[in-house]
Amino acid sequence: MRHVRIPLVSVCALALATAAFAQAPKPNIIFILADDLGYGELGSYGQKIVQTPHLDRFAAEGIRFTQFYAGSTVCAPSRSVLMTGQHMGHTRVRGNSGLDNTAAQMLRTGDLTVARVLQQAGYATALVGKWGLGLANDEGEPRQQGFDYYFGFLSQLHAHNHYPDFLWRNGEKVALPNVITPVGPTGAGYATKRVQYAGDLFFDEAREFIERSRQRPFFLYLALTVPHANNERARLLGDGQEVPDYAPYADRPWSDSQKGQAAMITRMDRQIGGLLAQLKTLGLDERTLVLFTSDNGPHKEGGPNYDPEKFDANGPLTGLKRSLTDGGIRVPFLARWPGKIKPGVVSPHVGYFGDMMATFAGLAGAKLPSNLDSISLVPTLLGQGAQPKHDFLYWEFYEGGVTQAVLLDGRWKGIRPKGASAPMQLFNLADDIGEKTDVAAKNPALVARVAEIMRTAHVDNEHWKIPPVGGRMPSSGTPKRAP
């Protein structure tokens, strides 16, 4: 475990908690990941227009984190951090590589995922929804990465299309009755005949997995594709927010893309409420930890008439998806486990996607590998013992040049835009959550500390390198704009 402050009392408390879990029944774990949902798009995080009553109740019945971060500011690397428990300087996939270099967006046989750790601990494991870390018949395919079962999209370009004409189930294409106009070779495009909505199919599949796995501990990674835009439809037809209907916003004086964005979120909220109701019906509620978050900050890709400011999608934060200011990486994070997590808790603990590895392994009584950037959130979730903390969190982003960011001591945010020679920016999030005032000139010692972390936190792999000067990626690793 790297770069973590763990006082002796925390080590003892964590050891006792781990020992207790080893003897207790292993909890079911459901991790629900929204796609491009902003920090401010839930009622529990200040949203005033879009209705999210079920997730607001979810927050009231569990714990809501106020400073939790995604693995990255775009899809694939954020999911790689989630799966591997390693930050952006160490994880395998560090950007959206597009079709020209699919190997750069693929987990490999030697990678150990959280799904594999839980599978080895006796869990039934399933991925439902969007994967984005490998295609059929390669090393990154979900069954090669610890999932017993999967259903959904493998290519994240394919996942743009909310009405696809096929999905994948365990290596086989499942034909759907939608008729699409294809755009490119991946299955992306837009539907000219809409019959089955992928998001609805995902919740059906999730409920079926829960039903058939109820007799043993299970891990369900429910990786949704809402409220991500259909980029191809937005570009060609002007509206990327595909949804079966605009309820309850059909009569609002908004553009169709704004109605679609709101309807996507409220539809997802209602379906999550149905999933939680199923857990109660099956008697699994108190045996199941459910978590909800988003893979990065809010998008602005719904079309020319879509504006994320309409619903204040990033709340008090600055920036959107593809930004390393907090608007691009700070995300809502909720956890609910009746009887274990106290209701109504609001936590300022600073965590990120990589912490799921240590958290889930601890709950499952599984042994952790040593090469992690992950700490367990169990003390915070259960309100037991002192919570270890990260000394820093680290990100890098490759589109248009390399950008790096470090969050130091949960407070000081350093950003080096577009390359090693660019001047460092420094923000004090404790006083300036919107990152409006650069205080680098007043804090040279902190700037030097952040710069050293940026230098040492990154380890090159064959596809993802940071050049010493200029910030441009070598041609073999240049990522494509493929959200």
- Mark whether 166 and 214 lie in a shared domain: yes
- Helices 355-364, 8-23: axis angle to 10 degrees equals 50
Largest CA distance in the chain: 61
Classify the C-alpha dihedral 57-61-65-69 as positive or negative.
negative
- Summarised one tens digit per residue, pLDDT across range 302-323 is 999 999 999 999 999 999 999 9
Domain boundary pick from 372, 390, 408? 390
Number of separate domains in the chain: 2
- Same domain for 286 and 423, yes or no, is no
Range with lowest mean pLDDT among 8-12, 24-28, 184-188, 405-409: 8-12
Q: 17 or 138: which carries more pLDDT confidence?
A: 138
Burial class (CB in 10 A: 0-12, 13-18, 19+), 407: buried
Alpha helix positions (H), 85-144: 114-120
Domain presence at residue 200: yes
Is residue 259 domain-shared with residue 169, that is, in the same domain? yes
Q: Say which CATH number the domain at 466 has.
A: 3.30.1120.10
Among 375, 390, 405, identify where a domain stops: 390
430 and 292 assigned to the same domain: no
Tell me the residue range of the domain where 382 lies: 4-390
48 has pLDDT over 90: yes
Q: How far is CA 188 from CA 133, 153, 191, 288, 429, in A?
A: 17, 11, 10, 35, 39
Domain contains 483:
no
Say which residue the tokens 């650069």 belong to: 438
Same domain, 320 and 199: yes
Residues 410, 335, single domain; the answer is no
pTM of the model: 0.93
Residue 341 has pLDDT above 90, yes or no: yes
Q: Are both 45 and 153 inside the same structural domain? A: yes
In a domain, 482, yes or no: no
| Residue 15: predicted pLDDT | 53
CATH number at residue 93: 3.40.720.10
Q: Give residue 240's pLDDT.
A: 98
- Do 138 and 16 have their domain in common? yes
What pLDDT, on the 0 to 100 scale, is given for residue 265?
Answer: 99
Q: What is the mean pLDDT of the chain?
A: 93
Looking at the chain, the whole-number percentage of residues with pLDDT higher than 90 is 88
pLDDT digits (tens, 9 = 90+) for 381-432: 999 999 999 999 999 999 989 999 999 999 999 999 986 678 999 999 999 9
Is 367 a domain residue?
yes
Cα(50)–Cα(187) distance, integer angstroms: 30
Whether residues 302 and 430 share a domain: the answer is no
In terms of domains, do 186 and 273 share one? yes
Quick one: 252 and 331 in the same domain?
yes
Q: Over range 23-44, report the average pLDDT.
A: 95
The b-or-e profile of 168-206 (16+ CB within 10 A means b, else e) is beeeeeeebebebeebeebbbbbbeebebbbbebbbebb
Residue ending a domain, choose from 357, 390, 423 = 390
pLDDT (0 to 100) of residue 476: 36
* Same-domain pairing of 48 and 171: yes
